[in-house]
Chain A
Amino acid sequence: MVNNSWEIIHIPGKPPFSPTQQPTVDVFASIVDPKHANTLIRKLNKIAPFENLRHVKRVRKSCSNGKAELSMILCLTGEDGTELGSMPMDLLELTNCYQLSPFVTQVCKYAATTKEEWEEQCKLWPTSFHPPTYNIEGITGFSEENSTRIFNYMNFALKLAKSAGDQFVNAAVIVDPSLNKIITSACDEISSWNMHLDGHESHSLDVVEATTSHDDANGCALLKSNLNGSFNVPKSSSSRISCLNPWQWSHQHLSSSSSCFWHPLRHAAMVAIEYAAARDRRLFPTMEESDEKYVPLDPNVTSASAVGLPAKRQKTKLANVKNGDDISADGFLSKSERPYLCTGCDIYLAWEPCAMCAMALVHQRIKRIFYAFPNPHTGALGTVYRLQGEKSLNHHYAVFQVILHNEALASVEESITVEKGE
């Protein structure tokens, strides 16, 4: 998704290859008589199954001199080379039996992860393309409307990142995309651990109201004007960005006042998760009675409508809850409406998270991560580690970088890279 000043790119679970430079393997193939095709496929699948090349199609249809032609992959070439003699005996027999004339050709080693990769692959030999097994919206592109929303939320995160005076910090905004609504937001709290605060929720809701009230065209213009010239990070003020410098806390004077705790692990994403959990507990309090299905959100608001309503009647009203705000007109939510952690939610981060934060977002079941700036020394979503590609994890999110084509923003990255590289 390209915009004049913005671009959203998917950061896949494996290091990307240029579509035209994908790794290949050599195979033996042969033109076959179409009337033998079915028999041959059956026999080949038995003798030489495609164990690690399931994405490669066995048969290629092509056109030669106006005549349709079928060719078929027999097997991978051996390690011994591409001599015909290196083929297994039963394949050689098959070759003789059906009068095949094997030749060596190349197929792509890995399944395509994008349409572009797939199109390039098929120039060599046809493959199948299954868009990522986890079907997360956006991997194959964003609609104009959605990309504008993404820019707006990222803009909000970047504003938070520079809201701490002359020091830049990392910032996190958790969004429920199905409601187009900010769940919570947070900045690094390394030097001020607000143990008794319940997040910045009310603040952020005001801001998103302002942010999302702009239509598409205005939205982008607004972003540009907000960011232009306002995101110059002097070298000295990037040192407190939590995820970039997670080891350096002991050299800093963190405590801004004696009444505040400091905490080296309160990176923005960790704090945002905590706020989201606090909000969850507040909106969906646990009921001790297991058969109590509906939870009054606020006794003062709900008692009037609850009193005198038969239980059945209350249930029918729940249909409205999902479409509307958290708090429905009669103030009831069913347990089934209660979200499981941050399932379905997105998070916007100014900087690519470190391994601690990236893993925390796996634990909390975040659906999509958007970040603006890569984290050159500790980034865990493609730069140093690539958690979205760790197969053993029990949850996988999709990761996107929102690239800012803006000279002022480029200088942010540069100043940080220079400082870290010293």
Chain B
Amino acid sequence: MMDLVESGVPLDSDAFMELAIQEAKGALDRLEVPVGCVIVENKKVIASGSNRTNETRNATRHAEMEAIDGLLQQWQRDGLSESEVAKRISECVLYVTCEPCIMCASALSYLGLKEVYYGCRNEKFGGCGSVLSLHATSCTPSNNAGIAGFKCFGGLRASEAVSLFQIFYERGNPNAPRPHRAVVHP
């Protein structure tokens, strides 16, 4: 993965990833796979989400999808048109604790987000380099000239993201009683 310092990651990216981690912790408390994210526009968080696959019994309700749905609803309530939404989302940056899966990476590409910062890699399902590279390849150029993928940077606070997964999987059966653990307030 790219060296974050040399790649020019914005200085406040750490703070945004912190918010994504808080989202992931919320998912953990709800016995969900702990992944969280925030969407940032002009250095301001405009949407957030965390995994809800167990609650909804819909395995596609990943953090990214939750945040996107919230954002699209809000913008339409605000009266934005399709082209206005497209323009604003192309300035948006996603911070997510784990590399987007193939599904979410495709979705982010379709929507046209500008950049994605993620924590740990997703070796099994990752769509931003681990299994497929959907951030780099968008559509066939001849068909959709000018449409690019999104920039993607990994490794931002990866160990914290991993340790949340470890807590989740060590717990085993999500329906089993939760072990007592200290609530971390950074």
Contacts and interface: CB of A to CB of B under 8 A. Distances in A.
A355 B103 contact: yes
B3 to A, nearest CB: 26
Contacts of B106: 246, 354-356, 359
Contacts of B104: 356
Contacts of B180: none
B144 A253 contact: no
Interface in B24-76: 53, 56-60, 65, 68-69, 72-73, 76
B13 interface: no
A253 B85 CA distance: 12
Contact of B147 (A247, A263, A277): A247
Contacts of B82: 249-255, 262
B83 interface: yes
Contact of A360 (B56, B60, B142): B60
A377 B73 contact: no
B127 interface: yes
Contact of A393 (B58, B73, B131): B131
A96 interface: no
A255 B82 CA distance: 8
B106 to A, nearest CB: 4
A355 B149 CA distance: 14
A290 interface: yes
A253 B82 CA distance: 7
A359 B106 CA distance: 9
Contact of A250 (B83, B107, B139, B142): B83
B132 interface: yes
Nearest to A341: B59
Contact of B127 (A251, A265, A359, A377): A359
Interface residues of B, number: 43
B8 to A, nearest CB: 27
Contacts of B101: 359, 363
A421 to B, nearest CB: 8
Interface in A391-412: 392-394
A93 B104 CA distance: 58
Contacts of A71: none
Residue of B105, B132, B175 with most chain A CB atoms under a 10 A cut-off: B132
Contact of A392 (B124, B144, B175): B124
Interface string B85-108: 110000000000000011111110
A387 to B, nearest CB: 7
Nearest to B175: A290
A249 B110 contact: yes
A125 interface: no
A393 B56 contact: no
Nearest to B87: A250
Interface of B: 53, 56-60, 65, 68-69, 72-73, 76, 82-83, 85-86, 101-107, 109-112, 123-125, 127, 130-132, 134, 138-140, 142-144, 147, 175
Given A255-B76, A281-B56, A360-B60, 4 more contacts: A247-B144, A249-B82, A250-B83, A422-B143
Interface of A: 246-255, 261-265, 270, 273-274, 277, 280-281, 290, 341, 354-360, 362-365, 377-378, 385, 387, 390, 392-394, 420-422
